[in-house]
């Protein structure tokens, strides 16, 4: 007989009290960050939110389905370059004939760019997944790694014979986000409160993450999510039980890539500049480390891993020189070298102490 553990009123009150405190903390986070460290730390938080989107997308491929993807940053690049091409004057400079149809410049609305970036990235995910259906483990990792590098090199060299991506120089002048007349740049004064555009980005990115988390939770507890879990545990057994492994793998690649494309489009609008140097192999490894470090397949763990691996390097970067100056009276080791040293050491220690991640999935035991 299975024993069920019922929630007591005290447990329910504790849960909702914790959720209320958590929501309040999220709402005031940019205000607190501005008071403590200025707009620099608000910008760091915004980048952390972009990485959370990437980690949640990669979690579908790695955490839910068990497919080792080392080139996920390619979908980030696809979304970013799509936004850069559709919301900047670059294409009009390359193809002056477009000025006939767009006399005021190519300023495509992000309400169109973001869904289109998700769609194009999903197609790229299918194109990556289709040839790799029979590959597993290290072989799949090598192929996806190559795909990520192909996209980066393509963006770097697609400036001749026709200058599509402007090569290593990147594309500048990308329009900032403009939703329903609200432009995400400058400073606003509402009700006597000074509201920088970075705050607007924070709340927008938070809403997008909430939507992505909702989709991930619905997928995880659906028939699709159970099929992904079966493929992750044993692909041969899943196939023997009638699961169409091919279709579900392609769906995982497409869904994960679409989130990467959305993050890339928002990144292009946020930065106003896109170049191949933002989509290196190191970025792919960093996103994969976020998923593994936080806890594969566990959404709160993945979010925690993304926040830690985004904030920790910046904290080390900003504090390495002042701490050395206070202790030794001089900067003995370059802060960048020290940052990489402690960053790598922290990853090694966490993986030794918590091999399943900082916040792994808890498997509930059923007592008979």
The pLDDT of residue 3 is above 70: no
Burial class (CB in 10 A: 0-12, 13-18, 19+), 192: exposed
Please write the tens of the pLDDT for every residue from 219-238. 998 999 999 999 999 999 99
Cα angle 204, 270, 28 (rounded to 5 degrees) comes to 40
Q: What are phi and psi of 304, to 5 degrees?
A: -60, -45
Quickly count: other Cβ atoms within 10 Å of residue 265's Cβ.
Answer: 30
CA distance linking residue 222 with residue 211, whole number of Å: 17
Q: Is the pTM of this model over 0.85?
A: yes
Question: What are the residue ranges of helices labelled H in the chain?
Answer: 9-37, 39-59, 73-86, 90-94, 98-101, 110-129, 137-157, 197-220, 223-233, 235-240, 245-271, 281-294, 299-328, 335-353
Place of tokens 């006597």: 192
The pLDDT of residue 13 is above 50: yes
Q: What are phi and psi of 196, to 5 degrees?
A: -70, 160
What residues contact 53, with CB distance under 8 A and at least 6 apart? 205, 208, 209, 212, 259, 260, 262, 263, 266
CA distance linking residue 262 with residue 79, whole number of Å: 6
Please write the tens of the pLDDT for every residue from 156-165. 999 988 999 9
Please write the tens of the pLDDT for every residue from 125-162. 999 999 988 888 889 999 999 999 999 999 999 998 89
When pLDDT is cut at 50, 70 and 90, the band that residue 367 belongs to is very low
Please write the tens of the pLDDT for every residue from 264-275. 999 999 999 999
Lowest mean pLDDT among 13-27, 193-207, 255-269: 13-27
**Segment 111-125 mean pLDDT:** 96
**Segment 337-360 mean pLDDT:** 87
What residues contact 164, with CB distance under 8 A and at least 6 apart? 85, 94, 158
Q: What tokens appear for 74 in the block? A: 């390619």
178-179/273-274 β-pairing: unpaired
When pLDDT is cut at 50, 70 and 90, the band that residue 338 belongs to is confident
Lowest mean pLDDT among 1-5, 181-185, 268-272: 1-5
Tell me if residue 202 falls in helix, strand or coil: helix
Please write the tens of the pLDDT for every residue from 92-107. 988 888 888 887 778 8
The pLDDT of residue 262 is above 90: yes
CA distance linking residue 120 with residue 128, whole number of Å: 12
What is the predicted pLDDT for the residue at 4? 44
The pLDDT of residue 366 is above 50: no
What is the predicted pLDDT for the residue at 296? 92
Could you please report the per-residue DSSP string of 165-182? S-GGG-EE-PPPPEETTE
Q: How far is CA 311 from the centre of its chain?
A: 14
The pLDDT of residue 187 is above 60: yes
The pLDDT of residue 290 is above 90: yes
Percent of the chain at pLDDT above 90? Answer: 63
């Amino acid at each position: 007989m299975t024993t069920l553990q019922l929630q007591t009123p005290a447990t329910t009150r504790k849960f909702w009290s914790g959720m209320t405190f958590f929501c309040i903390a999220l709402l005031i986070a940019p205000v607190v960050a501005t008071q403590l460290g200025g707009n620099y730390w608000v910008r760091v938080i915004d980048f952390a939110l972009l990485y959370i989107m990437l980690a949640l997308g990669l979690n579908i491929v790695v955490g839910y389905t068990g497919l080792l993807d080392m080139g996920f940053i390619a979908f980030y690049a696809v979304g970013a370059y799509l936004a850069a091409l559709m919301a900047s004057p670059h294409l009009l400079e390359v193809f002056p004939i477009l000025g006939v149809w767009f006399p005021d410049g190519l300023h495509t609305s992000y309400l169109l760019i973001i869904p289109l970036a998700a769609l194009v990235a999903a197609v790229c995910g299918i194109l990556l997944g289709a040839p790799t259906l029979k590959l597993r483990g290290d072989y799949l990792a090598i192929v996806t790694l190559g795909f990520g590098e192909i996209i980066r090199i393509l963006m770097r060299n697609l400036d001749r014979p026709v200058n599509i991506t402007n090569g290593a120089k990147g594309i500048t002048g990308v329009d900032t986000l403009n939703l329903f007349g609200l432009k995400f740049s400058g400073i606003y004064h509402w009700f006597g409160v000074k509201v920088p555009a970075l705050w607007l980005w924070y709340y927008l990115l938070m809403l997008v993450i909430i939507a992505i988390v909702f989709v991930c939770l619905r997928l995880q507890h659906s028939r699709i999510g159970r099929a992904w879990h079966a493929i992750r545990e044993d692909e041969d057994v899943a196939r023997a039980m009638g699961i169409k492994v091919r279709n579900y793998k392609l769906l995982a690649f497409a869904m994960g890539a679409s989130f990467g494309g959305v993050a890339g489009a928002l990144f292009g609008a946020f930065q106003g500049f896109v170049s191949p140097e933002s989509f290196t192999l190191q970025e792919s490894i960093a996103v994969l480390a976020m998923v593994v470090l936080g806890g594969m397949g566990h959404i709160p763990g993945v979010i925690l891993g993304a926040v830690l691996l985004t904030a920790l390097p910046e904290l080390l970067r900003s504090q390495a020189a002042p701490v050395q100056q206070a202790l030794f009276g001089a900067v003995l080791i370059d802060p960048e070298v020290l940052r990489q040293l402690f960053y790598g050491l922290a990853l090694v220690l966490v993986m030794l102490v918590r091999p399943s991640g900082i916040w792994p999935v808890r498997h509930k035991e059923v007592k008979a």
